[in-house]
Structure 1
């Protein structure tokens, strides 16, 4: 079986598909990832990757979206989004940017199945044009019910140009723990974190004499809303009996308190097992990786789907959420000492680990295609 993965041009959408793609390869299937821009970093995983929109960086795409749908972008950055359908028009701009490259690649490579990352529907057009099944791989807690039909309306000219209709056979691969969402969107798939490749420092495996707190803003938030939350953490760090590790990449921070490390970019799935807690921006990758590690979270959301994730973390009891200006010493101490948060985080970790593993779902997909 040949499986074409189609993802948008960002690591937050490309990285979550890696574990399933690797499971398919291990089972003897052929896999190819179609993406662009920052999404090309998925090459680090060892998977074959094709650039379907050369030069289309995330910054270039954002400018296109801002020009075409300025009000929708303002709503998204303000954090008012609760359903993917609310940002269907901005997403349609992404589809138009990728779809021709995806179709050219697919017509040459001839896949048997298309797996598309959530919030990216060039794969929908591709599967419809080739008359093959489609699996939508979601990346977190936000729901996308009804998006295919809405995209068919918004992209009627694109569907017509490529001779496509909605694929007759579609399924959704849902990585969200059922206790944190209204209901499963489709086939459950255990979330196995892949956070990129980077050298792991020796000190990460050494014993620590006090709790460790990871701090990250992901790959997108610093460019959208700045590093204000990190600066606030740094202002408070000296009053907390903990070691803070800033997993931020190349960010200029100046002098740091003695109990703060800034090693540059670290894969969260390597860092979090050594941590007692995490402070982050609410990105799906950070949220889901923390859930997989069973680590209490403090979420300081900053737009897009991050408020959805923050609300779910708070309501499930696996962490806390706050505005940046609400971050203070008592809140950080509660994150470290609240036994209830730790117990619920462990419960959700067990829930995730009980979901069907990527190799199981890979076999199910192969059987589905044969059926």
Structure 2
């Protein structure tokens, strides 16, 4: 069986699909990834088609957002009709730049099934054009089906150009949200979130159990590139007065805007969260779905400092389930960090949800289901 993965650009959308792609390959199936750029998927050992060579995806996003007539508040509007209109229009534009090369690759390679990230419209378009089944791969807590439909419906020009009227006749979906953290039914097939955060040569200290609590800190892969690093200034200032070790996993970002770091704060560069968190007591992060779910898998408590996109929704899910806290970045104080590290209720809830997702079907368990569609 040949499975084409079509993902929207950005590591937060590509990385959640990697574990399923690896499971399919391990079972003897062929996998091809179609996405803008594609370096990260190639680094994961996958064959990749760059569907938007030379395109500045960030500029496309900014242009699409600027064309919206209404102001949009990510903290309140994401999970609303206004959110469907706003976000659907932006991701329809992002999907549009990848359509033609994805269709061309698919017509040459002839997949039996198309798996696509849920904030992406190219996957269902390609599957419908080729007459093959499609599977939407969720990556967070939202009810992603309405958003996928909104994106697809807005791709009028692309669908007309390729003679596609509606969704593929055979369409399934994968839901990775822990059931106890959402107030909606499971969409399609539930699947355990198995973190993929990239590979790397680990420094020796990452594997060592520290003498005092270790707290990982990350802002994901986008925020550090758009000037959000200084949102951690208050956290770093608070950290210098605490008996804990803080690890800033900030990728290639220059930590100098945070000033001189105290002795108990380590700037670690790029460290895969799934490797770092097993020796940590907690994670402080921006609320990206991948960071949130990776912390859940590790069973650690979380402090979420949302900045935009779906991060407010993810922060609410964490706080509502009781496995973590949420705060504005400038309101972080010693009392908040102390509670994060010592509140037994938070730790108990984090362990419960880690146990919950461990019982869900693994990516390998879904391989026969996908093969059954072909």
Work out whether the TM-score is over 0.5.
yes
In the other structure, the counterpart of 1:227 is 229
Deviation at 1:250, TM superposition (A): 2.4
In the other structure, the counterpart of 2:215 is 213
Q: Deviations over 1:162-188 (max 9, x none)?
A: 011310111110011000112211100
In the other structure, the counterpart of 2:78 is 81
In the other structure, the counterpart of 2:297 is 292
In the other structure, the counterpart of 1:357 is 362
In the other structure, the counterpart of 1:60 is 59
Cα 1:162–1:208 shift into 2, 3 Å: same
Matched, 1:320 2:325: yes
Cα 1:152–1:215 shift into 2, 3 Å: closer
**CA RMSD between the two structures:** 1.6
Cα 1:148–1:219 shift into 2, 3 Å: closer
Deviation at 1:70, TM superposition (A): 6.4
Q: Is the 8 A contact 1:212 1:277 kept in 2?
A: yes
Q: Is the 8 A contact 1:79 1:303 kept in 2?
A: no
In the other structure, the counterpart of 1:170 is 171
In the other structure, the counterpart of 1:126 is 126
Distance 1:147 1:310 in 2: 19
Q: Deviations over 1:272-331 (max 9, x none)?
A: 011000100001110010011001000000010000000000000010001112210100
Deviation at 1:153, TM superposition (A): 3.1
Matched, 1:181 2:186: no
Deviation at 1:71, TM superposition (A): 4.0
Distance 1:221 1:196 in 2: 18
Which stretches in structure 2 are left out of the alignment for 5+ residues?
A: none
Deviation at 1:41, TM superposition (A): 1.1
Cα 1:55–1:71 shift into 2, 3 Å: farther
Q: Is the 8 A contact 1:36 1:57 kept in 2?
A: no
Distance 1:315 1:260 in 2: 29
Distance 1:158 1:324 in 2: 41
Count of residues in Structure 1 that have an aligned counterpart in Structure 2: 366
In the other structure, the counterpart of 1:50 is 49
Is the deviation greater in 204-213 or in 60-69? 60-69
In the other structure, the counterpart of 2:143 is 143
In the other structure, the counterpart of 1:236 is 238
In the other structure, the counterpart of 2:307 is 302
**Among residues 345, 355, 369, which one is paired with 1:340 in the alignment?**
345
Deviation at 1:113, TM superposition (A): 0.5
Deviation at 1:43, TM superposition (A): 1.2
Distance 2:241 2:354 in 1: 30
Distance 1:260 1:79 in 2: 33
Q: Is the 8 A contact 2:61 2:94 kept in 1?
A: no
Matched, 1:198 2:209: no
Deviation at 1:269, TM superposition (A): 0.2
Deviation at 1:225, TM superposition (A): 5.4
Which stretches in structure 1 are left out of the alignment for 5+ residues?
A: none
Q: Is the 8 A contact 1:9 1:40 kept in 2?
A: no
Q: Give the TM-score taking structure 2 as reference length.
A: 0.94
Deviation at 1:265, TM superposition (A): 0.9
Distance 2:73 2:227 in 1: 14
Distance 1:79 1:265 in 2: 32
Cα 1:297–1:92 shift into 2, 3 Å: same
Cα 1:246–1:342 shift into 2, 3 Å: same
Q: Is the 8 A contact 2:217 2:246 kept in 1?
A: yes
Q: Is the 8 A contact 2:16 2:139 kept in 1?
A: yes
